[in-house]
Structure 1
Amino acid sequence: MKLHHFFQRAAGAALATALLAAAPLSQAHEYKLGQLEIGHPYARATVPGQPAAGAYLSIENKGATADRLVGVSSPAAKSGEIHTMAMEGNVMKMREVDGGLEVKPGQKIAMQPGNGYHIMLMGLSKPLQAGDKVPATLTFEKAGKVEVTFNVEDGKAAAAGKDGMKDMKEHMHH
């Protein structure tokens, strides 16, 4: 009986160790660059033939001076652009942000589908599928560059019920 308890404890300890080892991988989807904290970078899955994908993250400036996201690049796309969305009458208009996206001291910008700012990965080399990991480099005016990974999530789940292809068609007509 004592041997049985030993194996139960050993198995329990091994499981706990495995869970603790895995936890940082699933939880640690945040990046730090100087006083900037980048949280949960993710992109929407795409369909074959879709030329671009929306990507999202949060940027929090914990410093005393403003910084500016001035560039995004990824080997999965020809270019990365920082866009803003706004309603003009009954039409959602998306435009590239001139000069980059300023993040003021103490400010947190949360890029989300259908809300304000987002990143467009233009000229995709292949469709993005849920579960893919897309490497990218974010370039800030003052803090410099940071390597991040956009986790590709199911477009329907990430869009909270919005049709990603409809959004893409609207985007291509801006």
Structure 2
Amino acid sequence: MLKSSLLLAALLLPVFSAANAEDYKAGDLLVSDPWSQELPPNAPTVAAYFVIHNTGATPDRLLSVETSVAEKAELHEHVMQGDLMKMQQVPSVAVPAKGELTFAPMAYHVMLLGLKDRSLLADGKQFPLTLTFEKAGKVQVQVSVQKAPPMAGHGPVHAQ
């Protein structure tokens, strides 16, 4: 029985390791599941998404983002103005203490403008994205480009 349990544990270890392969740590923050949707032909911009988990007792703030695949990377949010949903740039985004912040379609997202290397924006490719936090500092993540959005484990959530 012990031998079977050890064998099962050994077989499952790569599965659990792969599940955490897209997690990036900076101080008390963990950035998980960075992704972007495959670039449509002739699209002038593309967005990137991820989840920031704060395990610390104090809030942090995402101040900026940058990448080599675009001239500019901006933090954006969607807001309702009357009956219309509008996208707008924000200077920074708060990450609550002991909480999480989800960057997702129709919520906070990173907008990449002035695309440079479109070859990295195809299904199955990855590109680097550097996030700069007020307290945790910089963390570079690899954004996975996918044909379709991943199965949602989190809904769009904005920190207050």
Q: TM-score normalised by the shorter chain: which range applies?
A: 0.7 to 0.9
Q: Does 1:130 align with 2:128?
A: no
Asked if the contact 1:113–1:158 (Cα under 8 Å) also holds between the matched residues in 2, the reply is no
Worse-superposed segment, 89-98 or 53-62: 89-98
**Larger relative strand fraction:** 2
Q: In the alignment, which residue of structure 1 is the partner of 2:73?
A: 80
CA distance in 2 between partners of 1:26 and 1:121 (Å): 27
Q: In the alignment, which residue of structure 2 is the partner of 1:142?
A: 135
Q: Does 1:89 align with 2:82?
A: yes
CA distance in 2 between partners of 1:88 and 1:34 (Å): 36
Instruction: Tell me the TM-score normalized by structure 2.
Output: 0.79
CA distance in 2 between partners of 1:104 and 1:27 (Å): 22
CA distance in 2 between partners of 1:117 and 1:73 (Å): 16
CA distance in 1 between partners of 2:30 and 2:150 (Å): 23
Report the alpha carbon displacement of residue 61 of structure 1 after superposing the two structures with TM: 1.1
Report the alpha carbon displacement of residue 89 of structure 1 after superposing the two structures with TM: 2.4
Aligned-partner residue type, residue 115 of structure 2: L
Task: Quote the RMSD (CA, aligned, Å).
Answer: 2.2
Q: Does 1:112 align with 2:104?
A: yes
Q: In the alignment, which residue of structure 1 is the partner of 2:48?
A: 55
Q: In the alignment, which residue of structure 2 is the partner of 1:102?
A: 94
Instruction: Structure 2: give runs of 5+ residues left out of the alignment.
Output: 1-6, 152-160
- How many residues are aligned here? 141
Instruction: Work out which of the two has the higher radius of gyration on C-alpha atoms and give 1 or 2.
Output: 1
* Identical amino acids, percent of aligned pairs: 39
Asked if the contact 1:44–1:153 (Cα under 8 Å) also holds between the matched residues in 2, the reply is yes
Worse-superposed segment, 41-50 or 31-40: 41-50
Question: CA-to-partner distance for each residue in 1:33-61, whole Å, 9 max, x for gaps?
Answer: 11001110001111232121111001111
CA distance in 1 between partners of 2:127 and 2:55 (Å): 26
With over 3 angstroms needed to count, the CA separation of the structure-2 counterparts of 1:70 and 1:120, relative to structure 1, is: same
CA distance in 2 between partners of 1:65 and 1:23 (Å): 29
- SS of the aligned residue for 1:158 comes to coil
Instruction: Tell me the TM-score normalized by structure 1.
Output: 0.73
**Larger relative helix fraction:** 1
